[in-house]
């Protein structure tokens, strides 16, 4: 499926983007492993989260829904999962595969994790290594999926992550629930802390200091009610669109603004964006706000590397912002972008060049010179965030932008075309 987006227009009105993907995955996982019922509202009904739900159903957990963002999970307790009859299919989702690997390492049954072509290219050694150090038995082909997990008794470790990754941190903490003794994870830079917060919400003690989280194995999780805020990573496409399209004024409601996720707001604001947070509140241990964004002229900046992990999924959109800015924007220490659903540095650079933007790719980032966006065809390489970012680029393009391979938008934001049209983007879906 392709998108054909006509040039120009502005984004106006108010809208609520779907639930946070990271929090939705964790609500399903902890709800399944808890004792008692967990009720979730605001859940993201995207393919990634549906894969996590299907995996727990295949292990005997009764899950009703999702229905209009509501999910009811009958938790089976930490030791209540049953052996799945077939490999568990994580689809396109790195989060599902890595977090499930942590859970499955400590079960008393074997399991296999598989996914789509993109997921089978992504590095899994980063979870296999620390889990093996905890006693796990995991077979893979050169650190890539499929992962065959034996299920064994685990012991705690004190592990320093070689890269800033919330998925690896979370996999180790989840395995730590099953491990004898204490499990600690240290991270080289701050990453999203939804696992730590939600574990505490389920009554599990987690000691958290800056860049370090520890827990003791052998406790229990108690079922909860979880209200998932809107996903700042999905809101980002609208922050981008409203900023670059003259005459825009948009209110994004109920967006999660956990400080480990707001790097995009800081980066766009440094570039000159007009973004205001209102109605700040806390919902279920997570900070939430309404976000107003109005159009403004951006200027290029050197993005501080400490902001990279705090905006890691927002770089496709930030590349488009840079293309619309005056002067040069520099992205560095962002090599993690090369191991996402696609190589996001290479795919964004190629797409921008097709639209006439000057981009110099570096090993760990890019230098992007702002200027005119011509219009033309770009290939998203099946990467949802790249497809949505180029859709918004049309607001500033001279001619239409055709975007190839857009099916995977459904992994994180199935209602994107509808909400984008409502806000003012002239987007058509073309079945190829
Ligand atoms: O923990 C999570 O939910 C996520 C962590 C990040 O991945 P890494 O841990 O690989 O940086 C992010 O890119 C992904 O979309 C979701
Ligand atoms: C990287 C992403 O997700 P995942 O790693 O879960 O596939 C993303 O959603 O941008």
Could you report the per-residue pLDDT of 300-356, keeping only the tens digit for each?
999 999 999 999 999 999 999 999 999 999 999 999 999 999 999 999 999 999 999
Smallest CA separation from ligand 2 atom 5, residue: 94
Q: Are residues 42 and 153 in the same domain?
A: yes
Q: Are residues 338 and 219 in the same domain?
A: no
3-state SS assignment for residue 168: helix
Q: Are residues 100 and 11 in the same domain?
A: no
Pick the atom of ligand 2 nearest to 412's CA: 9
**Catalytic annotation on 313?**
yes
pLDDT at residue 432 above 80?
Answer: no
* Ligand 2 pocket test target in 29, 89, 94, 387 with most atoms within 8 Å of CB: 94
| Residue 260 lies in domain | 2-19+229-430
Q: How far is the CA of 347 from the centre of ligand 1 (A)?
A: 19
Pick the atom of ligand 2 nearest to 22's CA: 6
Q: How far is the CA of 364 from the centre of ligand 1 (A)?
A: 18
Ligand 2 pocket, Cβ-based, cut-off 6 angstroms:
48, 93-95, 313, 340-341, 385, 412
Taking the CA of 52 as reference, the closest ligand is 2
Q: Are residues 254 and 323 in the same domain?
A: yes
Q: What is the pLDDT of residue 283?
A: 92
Residue 250 banded pLDDT, cuts 50, 70, 90:
very high
How many percent of the chain have pLDDT more than 70? Answer: 100
Task: Express each pLDDT in 48-82 by its tens digit.
Answer: 999 999 999 999 999 999 999 999 999 999 999 99
CATH code for the domain of 285: 3.65.10.10
Residue 180 banded pLDDT, cuts 50, 70, 90:
very high
Half-sphere CA count of 295, side-chain side, radius 13 A:
14
* pTM for the whole structure: 0.99
- Of 313, 379, 383, 405, the active-site residue reads 313
Q: What is the chain's mean pLDDT, rounded?
A: 98
Domain-terminating residue out of 223, 254, 285: 223
> How many distinct structural domains can be found in the chain?
2
Contacts 24+ apart (CB under 8 A), 127-132: 127/98, 127/101, 127/102, 127/167, 127/168, 127/171, 127/172, 128/101, 130/157, 130/159, 130/168, 130/171, 130/172, 131/101, 131/102, 131/105, 131/171, 131/172, 131/175
Q: Are residues 276 and 380 in the same domain?
A: yes
Smallest CA separation from ligand 1 atom 10, residue: 165
Pick the atom of ligand 2 nearest to 119's CA: 7
Q: What is the pLDDT of residue 115?
A: 98
């Amino acid at each position: 499926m392709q998108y054909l987006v006509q040039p120009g227009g502005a984004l106006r009105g108010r809208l609520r983007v779907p639930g946070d993907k990271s929090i939705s995955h964790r609500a399903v996982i902890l709800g399944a492993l808890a004792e008692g019922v967990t009720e979730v509202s605001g859940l993201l009904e995207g393919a990634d989260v549906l894969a996590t739900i299907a995996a727990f159903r295949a292990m005997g957990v009764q899950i009703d829904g999702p229905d209009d963002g509501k999910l009811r999970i009958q938790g089976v307790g930490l030791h209540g999962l049953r052996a799945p009859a077939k490999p568990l299919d994580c689809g396109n989702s790195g989060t599902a595969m890595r977090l499930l690997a942590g859970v499955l390492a400590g079960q008393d049954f074997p399991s296999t994790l598989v996914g789509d072509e993109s997921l089978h290219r992504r590095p899994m050694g980063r979870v296999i290594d620390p889990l093996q150090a905890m006693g796990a038995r995991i077979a893979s082909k050169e650190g890539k999926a499929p992962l065959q997990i034996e299920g064994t008794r685990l012991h705690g470790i004190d592990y320093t992550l070689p890269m800033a990754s919330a998925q690896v941190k979370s996999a180790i903490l989840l395995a730590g629930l099953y491990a004898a003794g204490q499990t600690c994870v240290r991270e080289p830079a701050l990453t999203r802390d939804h696992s730590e917060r939600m574990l505490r919400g389920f009554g599990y003690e987690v000691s958290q200091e800056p860049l370090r989280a520890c827990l003791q194995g052998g406790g229990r999780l108690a079922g909860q009610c979880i209200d998932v805020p809107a996903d700042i990573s999905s809101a980002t496409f609208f922050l981008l669109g409203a900023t670059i399209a003259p005459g825009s004024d948009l209110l994004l409601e109920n967006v999660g603004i956990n400080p480990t996720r707001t790097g995009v707001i800081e980066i766009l604001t440094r570039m000159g964006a007009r973004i205001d947070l209102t109605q700040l509140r806390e919902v279920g241990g997570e900070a939430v706000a309404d976000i107003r964004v109005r159009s403004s002229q951006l200027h290029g900046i050197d993005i501080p590397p400490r902001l990279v992990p705090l905006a890691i999924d927002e770089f496709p959109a930030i590349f488009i912002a840079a293309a619309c800015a005056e002067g040069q924007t520099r992205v560095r220490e962002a090599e993690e972008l090369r191991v996402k659903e696609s190589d996001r540095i290479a795919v964004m650079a190629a797409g921008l060049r097709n639209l006439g933007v000057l981009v110099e790719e570096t090993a760990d980032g890019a230098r992007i010179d702002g200027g005119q966006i011509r219009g033309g065809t770009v290939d998203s390489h099946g990467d949802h965030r790249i497809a949505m970012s180029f859709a918004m680029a049309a607001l500033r393009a001279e001619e239409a932008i055709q975007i190839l391979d857009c099916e995977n938008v459904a992994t994180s934001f199935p209602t994107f075309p509808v909400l984008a049209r409502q806000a003012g983007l002239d987007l058509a879906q073309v079945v190829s």
